[in-house]
């Protein structure tokens, strides 16, 4: 199994390390030609959604990535990755990939409270540590999208078929279970 990690900006190295610790092969997607390689799953990391979104457009990768996902490529978006996958962003006029039936709110916890850690339950996994960094949350899931975790009344993880998103950064904790969940999603 090989996972492509979108490495345009943000916290991609941590995903690569975590995949390595699980014995999964990964490679860096930095340009359009990298999308032509064969791979079984895609990770879109946290970072700055506006920057990653602009680069996806400038590098001519936006449509290819979107088509890949709508064709069924398993994808895992963390934080900014969640924003890029959302069909609607409450406080931003942009839609980037827009493949997932969720409505996201960027920097939803405000500037001062934007970064915090907690533990909470994630459906299908159990209690896990969660690290939030200027995080979004999901205002609303619609259609086939399903809520997987709620923290303080806000949705912080969801799944819709081949798409998994977390508002927090599992790659910044020592707990590998969310990545294992994603690898299992790919196998099924």
Q: Which of 40, 48, 90, 180 binds ligand GLN (CB under 6 A)?
A: 48
Do 5 and 77 meet the contact criterion of CB atoms below 8 Å apart? no
Rounded Cα–Cα distance for residues 11 and 171 (Å)? 8
Residue 79 is among the residues annotated as catalytic for this protein:
yes
Q: Does 79 bind ligand GLN (CB under 6 A)?
A: yes
Helix (H, G, I), strand (E, B) or coil at 131: strand
* CA-wise closest residue to 9 among 33, 28, 26: 28
Q: Does 179 bind ligand GLN (CB under 6 A)?
A: no
Residue 154 is among the residues annotated as catalytic for this protein:
no
Q: Report the nearest approach of ligand GLN to the CB of residue 23 (Å).
A: 26
Measured from the CB atom, is 83 or 85 closer to ligand GLN?
83
Residue 169 is among the residues annotated as catalytic for this protein:
yes
Rounded Cα–Cα distance for residues 9 and 81 (Å)? 11
Q: Report the nearest approach of ligand GLN to the CB of residue 141 (Å).
A: 19
Q: Does 147 bind ligand GLN (CB under 6 A)?
A: no
Q: Report the nearest approach of ligand GLN to the CB of residue 110 (Å).
A: 11
Q: Does 133 bind ligand GLN (CB under 6 A)?
A: yes
The residues, ordered by sequence, that sit 6+ positions from 106 with a Cβ below 8 Å of its Cβ are 49, 83, 89, 90, 91, 92, 136
Q: Which of 75, 80, 148, 172 binds ligand GLN (CB under 6 A)?
A: 80
Measured from the CB atom, is 28 or 48 closer to ligand GLN?
48
* CA-wise closest residue to 174 among 109, 124, 119: 119
Measured from the CB atom, is 13 or 184 closer to ligand GLN?
13
What does the block give as tokens for 159? 């799944």
φ and ψ of 163, to 5 deg: -115, 130
* Sites of contact with ligand GLN (CB under 6 A): 46-49, 79-80, 83, 106-107, 133-134
Residues acting as catalytic residues: 79, 169, 171
């Amino acid at each position: 199994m090989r996972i492509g990690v979108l490495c345009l900006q943000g916290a991609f190295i941590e995903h690569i390390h975590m995949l390595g610790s699980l014995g999964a092969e990964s490679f860096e997607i930095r340009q359009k030609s990298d999308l032509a390689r064969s791979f079984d799953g895609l990770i879109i990391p946290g970072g700055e959604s506006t920057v990653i979104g602009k680069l996806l457009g400038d590098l001519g990768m936006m449509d290819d990535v979107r088509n890949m996902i709508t064709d069924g490529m398993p994808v895992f978006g963390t934080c900014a990755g969640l924003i890029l996958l959302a069909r609607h962003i409450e406080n931003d006029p942009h839609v980037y990939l827009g493949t997932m039936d969720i409505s996201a709110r960027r920097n939803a916890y405000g500037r001062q409270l934007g970064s915090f850690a907690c533990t909470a339950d994630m459906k299908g996994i159990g209690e896990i540590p969660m690290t939030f960094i200027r995080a979004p949350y999901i205002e609303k899931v619609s259609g086939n999208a399903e809520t997987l975790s709620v923290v303080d009344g806000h949705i912080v993880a969801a799944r819709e078929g081949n798409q998994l998103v977390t508002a927090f950064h599992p790659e910044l904790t020592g707990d590998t279970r969310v990545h294992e969940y994603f690898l299992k999603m790919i196998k099924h």
